[in-house]
Amino acid sequence: MAPVDTTITRRGLGGLGAAALTLAAMGAVKESVTSAAAQTAPSGGTIKVGILHSLSGTMAISETTLKDVMLMLIDIQNKKGGLLGKKLEPVVVDPASNWPLFAEKARGLLSVDKCAAVFGCWTSVSRKSVLPVFEELNGILFYPVQYEGQECSRNVFYTGAAPNQQAIPAVDYLMTEEKVTRWVLAGTDYVYPRTTNQILEAYLKVKGIKPDDIMINYTPFGHSDWQNIVASIKKFGSAGKKTAVVSTINGDANVPFYKELGNQGIKATDIPVVAFSVGEEELAGMDTKPLLGHLAAWNYFESVDNPDNKAFIDAWHTFIKNPKRTTNDPMEAHYIGFNMWVKGVEKAGTIAPNAVIDALIGVAVPNLSGGYSAMMPNHHITKPVLIGEIQADGMFNIVSQTPGLVVAAEWSPYVADTKDLIGDWREPLHCGAYNVKTHTCGAGGGKKA
């Protein structure tokens, strides 16, 4: 392949993304292995895989099932013979929804347990907490949850959605289909909702929405008293303009939020809510009556009807020994990320981090919504975008789906400080925050290797 022209533009990166996806899906991505990557896993023992998800605290409602699906995926791979001739050994830790503890547990997984890769985190504050550890120790983290973007680390592979793969399409759907002109941006008070809402606020203004038609509200983790806030939302929506709530509320605070919507008689036909962190797992513990007709934007729903998804659901129910346990989007992200890691290790012929990191770019594996997802040079994957409407059984009726896969924009084009940045971890750029105008590699993209 010819060297990449360092005058590459953001649009040019998208073209490269589409080309890489096409080649990968056709099986034409060349899996060349350098002599440095020709080593194998250390002789003897197992290959350890870290699982870094909260099993207690406010985020356990969302993260416990991600631990379970990782155990399933490792079990399936071991039944296939393992990896590089060795069995995979899961190492499970509980950071307990405690952000500093995430960093401590991550350090242990890398420096003590010597894990070849770690699959974990949910909130962005947990990811931000562990990021310096992975960069310092040159570890590999697969992060499976939608997030705010504005980051591109060499040591992280982002298998959840960037804002243009979830938040922006959700707003577009509400504008087009629901004719929404007034917006409530409601989120938990931490980096993901604040940064996502910064992007959404800028996007709404580009679309002609006036500042007076945007209401922004933040609440702490675990917030339970929603009476006054929901009353304010109801009042804001009574101005004669179609109003919607874009929710970045995380964790168990969602249960009393939706309950209070019902208590105050707010229906989806009045003020629809589109959520970015409510999926099948969260709905399994809720009374769905107040939620009927409200929306969620993800890249996968359990209700997707195709043979690959049916096989995944059947395997999940068999492994977990509970036919009522649901699947959800972050589980699919781990399914994609784990299978990409396996292919990357096989491609590199080693578990050595540098070789695997380089080998992962261009790897493509089946997703569960249809087609293949490819790992792009910005360490984000291509994904379809789905909008689902909550049903009485806790499942989602898919009301909108992009016709193809969307290439992630890791840096927002709607924020002045990042509109000229791209991430590309291939040579010669090898940078997570490359400015296409100044031709310099800046801070914020993770350590430049």
E strand residue ranges, 7-52? 47-52
Q: Which residues contact residue 190 at a Cβ distance below 8 angstroms, ignoring those fewer than 6 apart?
A: 123, 124, 125, 221, 250
Q: According to the model, what pLDDT value does residue 3 have?
A: 34
Q: Which helix (H) or strand (E) holds 348?
A: helix 329-348
Residue 206 class from Cβ within 10 Å (0-12 exposed, 13-18 middle, 19+ buried)? exposed
What pLDDT is attached to residue 20?
A: 42
Structure tokens belonging to residue 209: 């929405």
Which CATH architecture best describes the domain 10-161+307-384? 3-Layer(aba) Sandwich (3.40)
Predicted pLDDT of residue 68: 98
**Could you tell me how far CA 134 lies from the centroid of its own chain?**
18
Domain ranges of the chain: 10-161+307-384
Cα 399 to Cα 182, 309, 387, 395: the distances in Å are 22, 18, 6, 13
- CB 428: neighbour CB atoms within 10 A? 10
pLDDT at 446 (0 to 100): 52
CA distance 95 to 55: 7
Divide the 449 residues of the chain into consecutive groups of 10 and give the mean pLDDT of each group. Answer: 35 42 39 34 80 96 96 98 98 97 98 98 96 98 96 98 96 96 96 94 96 97 96 95 96 91 93 92 83 94 96 98 94 98 98 98 96 97 96 93 94 95 96 96 61
**This prediction's pTM:** 0.86
**The pLDDT of residue 227:** 97
- The dihedral built from the CA positions of residue 82, 84, 85 and 90, taken in this order, carries a sign that is negative
pLDDT at 16: 40
What's the pLDDT score for residue 445? 58
Q: CA 111 to CA 88: how far, in whole Å? A: 18
AA letter at 135: E
